[in-house]
Amino acid sequence: MSADHIAPAVTTNFIRNIVEADLAAGKYTARRFSGRPGPAGVQASASPDQAKIRTRFPPEPNGYLHYGHAKSICLNFGLARDYGGACHLRFDDTNPTREEQEYVDSIIDAVHWLGFDWGENLYYASDYFDWLYEFAEALIAAGLAYVDSLSADEIREHRGNLTEKGRNSPHRERGVAENMDLFRRMKAGEFADGAHVLRLKIDMGSPNFNLRDPIAYRVRHATHHRTGDKWCIYPMYDYTHGISDALENITHSVCTLEFEDHRPLYDWLNEKLGAMNLLNLPLPHQYEFSRLNLTYVVLSKRRLIQLVDEGHTDGWDDPRMPTLVGARRRGFTPAGFRLFAERIGVSKSDSWIDMSLLEDCMREDLNEKAERRIAVLDPIKLVIDNYPVGQEETCFAPNHPLKPELGKREMPFSKELWIEREDYMEVPAKGYRRLYPGNMVRLRYGFVVKCSGADYDGEGNLLAVHCEYLPDSKSGTPGSDSYKVKGNLHWVSLLHAYPAEVRLFDRLFSSPHPGAGSDGERAYLADLNHDSKKVVIAYLEPALKAAQPEESFQFERHGYFVADRVDSQPARPVFNRTVTLRDSWGST
Ligand code: ATP
Ligand code: MG
């Protein structure tokens, strides 16, 4: 775990209960090895302690990870961490046409960034192509698989539907020798894509579609990102997944609920191969939990790709994207995600989680960690008429109100300051406590000032606010707290301020359930929030010039901001707003 790990009180859930029961029953102490070599890392780490649990996170490298994946990562790696087991990172890379190295690299980065490590247990399903092929031959030899030569349309048509059972393919009763010959010739490249498939011989009459002789292999003349042109037949996801789990001695194969109907196939396949002594025992078991549904975003790779490809956002790492690379650029933190995963828990019931819960977790983590700084986002000049021209002095501001040990920093003070435009009102609204003619406020960490009026241009636009300061009111000097004023404003010295680009991000969609209530694949796009990104030139206190990329701060009164990791230059950071100080999307 990385050093910044917040250890939230671990709440139990049904999967933890299962793991605890399995460990208490000694389920993994009597592992029986088939005597066959497994993947090297598993062999190496399996022997000294065979009793431990093994989980895995199995992404398909065909897109960037999103917030939903963070739930699955925290769950799987969290189980391994809490029960002294191992969690494997396995790329389910069986589809040669959709997968790319760029995605593999970004997934590796994202899991590490979240604070998890798989040690030696990094695997690729494509590393198992030889085993998967050999097992397919074993299934053919046992009469449990056959080569079908129907077209894709015919196979679909034979599969039946919810009310109608499927029908057997005319090729279902091919003999073992013919099946073996055809399958080897599929592998040898004798057939075009789609000419034949290998199917598991289960039950065309099963009420479960997944058991109606599912396809195990198809011909696909395509170059794979890792195995190159070695193969022209590729195994299907369902065929690959359970076998990969078993080869890696996975104990608890935890996935989302849409795979529940696939579990009978998962078990059928592993039980058959286990009975042939091709797999180690006990076999892995699959458990399903409900996926994360989060308001104000979309969490489906297909839609995320669309948002990027059609230019609705500025790429995968746009801070508004619900991807983990986007979250990182936005200033969301790994500890915030881990806290969120604990808070939302794990169950089998489908529900929506409100985005404000995720934002609150980020606030909670950042409130603890982020140093405070001053930034004026919408500047107007404040002139202190009785302050000597050319004079400067230093004020001191604490870096963190909860952590005095972090010390104070210097803030230069001078005759002209930047303050927020909204901190002045010519005619104050009821209850307004900031600057208006005749009112006194404290310039935070500085002096008490009394407002004397403002300058306007010919069109009535505010140009500057004027005030007089009380020289004996400087914060931290004796007697300074005898001034009781209600307003407390932030400011930066005009001479010393650092003008910087600051991006104010808001939620990407303006509706909690994008696209809900309208038909069509693209309906969710109509709910895009067109004010989700605003760029301003703000005036920042000089200390912020030294901010390092990815360093987070609380800009007092404004929220949490991070120095952008892509666009910041040395000594010229630009900032992204991570989240405001309070939820501004609530019902009030
Ligand atoms: P998507 O549905 O967004 O296209 P996916 O399920 O196809 O994602 P995979 O790469 O197959 O993406 O997912 C890897 C793992 O992450 C799987 O075990 C999957 O169950 C899990 N996962 C995906 N989306 C979510 C989610 N929203 N909440 C929790 N786990 C998820
Ligand atoms: Mg998937």
Residue-by-residue DSSP string for 35-65 = SS---HHHHHHHTTTTTS-EEEE---SSS--
Residue-wise burial string across 88-127, b where 16 or more C-beta atoms lie within 10 A, e elsewhere: bbbbbbbbbeebeeebbebbbebbebbbbebeebbbbbbb
Pick the residue whose CA is nearest to atom 22 on ligand 1: 69
**Greater confidence, 33 or 53?**
53
State residue 37's pLDDT score: 63
Distance (Å, rounded) from C-alpha 313 to C-alpha 533? 10
The domains of the chain are located at 14-128+237-294, 131-234, 301-371+500-579, 375-490
Candidates 52, 159, 291, 381; catalytic one: 291
Q: What pLDDT does residue 574 have? A: 98
Q: Is 303 in the pocket of ligand 1 (CB under 6 A)?
A: no
Q: What pLDDT, on a 0 to 100 scale, did the predictor assign at position 161?
A: 93
Query: Where do runs of H (alpha helix) occur along 206-312?
Result: 237-247, 263-275, 301-309
Strands (DSSP E) found in 457-587: 462-469, 487-489, 492-493, 498-505, 533-540, 552-555, 559-563, 575-580
User: Does residue 583 line the site of ligand 1, with CB under 6 A?
Assistant: no
The confidence score (pLDDT) of residue 585 equals: 60
- 432: nearest Cα among 451, 418, 446: 451
DSSP single-letter state for residue 217: E
| pLDDT attached to residue 266 | 98
Selected residue with higher pLDDT from 9 and 493? 493
Which of helix, strand or coil describes residue 411?
strand
pLDDT of residue 28: 87
pLDDT greater at residue 87 or residue 101: 87
Nearest CA to ligand 1 atom 1: 300
> What does the pLDDT read at residue 3?
40
What fold characterizes domain 14-128+237-294? Rossmann fold (3.40.50)
Model confidence at 429, in pLDDT bands (50, 70, 90)?
very high
d(CA 221, CA 185) in angstroms, rounded, equals 13
DSSP state, 11? P
User: What pLDDT shows up at residue 239?
Assistant: 98
- pLDDT value of residue 40: 61
Poorest-pLDDT segment among 171-185, 325-339, 468-482, 573-587: 573-587
pLDDT of residue 229: 96
C-alpha 172 to ligand 1 mean position (Å): 34
pLDDT bucket at 587, cuts 50 / 70 / 90: very low
pLDDT bin (cut points 50, 70, 90) of residue 100 is confident
User: In the block, which residue shows the tokens 């920093």?
Assistant: 409
Which-ligand-closest: CA of 62? 1
pLDDT of the residue at 47: 47
The pLDDT of residue 94 is above 60: yes
Q: Give the residue-averaged pLDDT of 97-102.
A: 80
Query: Does position 1 have pLDDT exceeding 50, yes or no?
Result: no
584 versus 71: the higher-pLDDT residue is 71
Name which of 36-40, 192-196, 377-381, 581-585 the model is least confident about: 36-40
User: Given this chain, do its domains 301-371+500-579 and 375-490 carry the same CATH topology?
Assistant: yes
Share of the chain above pLDDT 90, in %: 88
Q: Is the CB of 111 under 6 A from ligand 1?
A: no
In the CATH hierarchy, which fold is given to the domain comprising 131-234? Glutamyl-tRNA Synthetase; domain 3 (3.90.800)
Cβ proximity of 539 and 379 under 8 Å: yes
For 197, the enclosing helix (H) or strand (E) is strand 197-200
How many residues comprise the chain?
Answer: 588
CA 547 to centroid of ligand 2, rounded, Å = 39
Burial 400-427 (b: 16+ CB within 10 A, else e): beeeeeeeebebebbbebbbbeebbbee
Is position 291 annotated as part of the catalytic site? yes
Summarize the confidence of residues 196-221 as an average pLDDT: 98
The reported pLDDT for the residue numbered 38 is 66
- pLDDT at res. 43: 58
Task: Answer yes or no: is pLDDT of 41 > 70.
Answer: no
Q: What pLDDT does 11 receive?
A: 77
> In ligand 1, which atom is closest to the CA atom of 293?
27
Fold classified for 301-371+500-579: Ribosomal Protein L25; Chain P (2.40.240)
Longest dimension (CA), the chain: 102
Q: Does domain 375-490 have CATH number 3.50.50.60?
A: no
* pTM (predicted TM-score): 0.94
Q: Which amino acid is at 24?
A: A
Q: What is the pLDDT of residue 436?
A: 98
Q: Which residue's C-alpha comes closest to atom 3 of ligand 1? A: 300
Cα-to-centroid distance, 5 and ligand 2 (Å) = 29
347 lines ligand 1 (CB under 6 A): no
Q: What is the C-alpha to C-alpha distance for residues 75 and 247, in angstroms, rounded to an integer?
A: 22
Q: In this predicted model, what pLDDT tens digit does every residue of 266-301 receive, in sequence order? A: 999 999 999 999 998 899 999 999 999 999 999 999
Q: Which atom of ligand 1 is nearest to the CA of 58?
A: 14
Reported as a pLDDT band with limits 50, 70 and 90, residue 404 is: very high
What is the mean pLDDT of the segment spanning 62-73? 96
255 lines ligand 1 (CB under 6 A): yes
Q: Answer whether residue 375 shows pLDDT above 80.
A: yes
- Which atom of ligand 1 sits closest to the CA of residue 59? 10
Q: What percent of the chain has pLDDT over 70?
A: 95
Closest listed ligand to the CA of 68: 1
- What is the pLDDT of the chain when averaged over all its residues? 93
Decide if 158 contacts 150 (C-beta within 8 A): yes
Q: What is the mean pLDDT of residues 439-453?
A: 97
| Cβ neighbours of 268 (radius 10 Å) | 18
Ligand 1 atom closest to Cα of residue 73: 16
Peptide bond into 478 cis (omega under 30): no
Q: CA angle 384-390-391, nearest 5°?
A: 70
Instruction: Tell how far the Cα of 15 is from the centroid of ligand 1, in angstroms.
Output: 18
Mean pLDDT, residues 154-178: 96
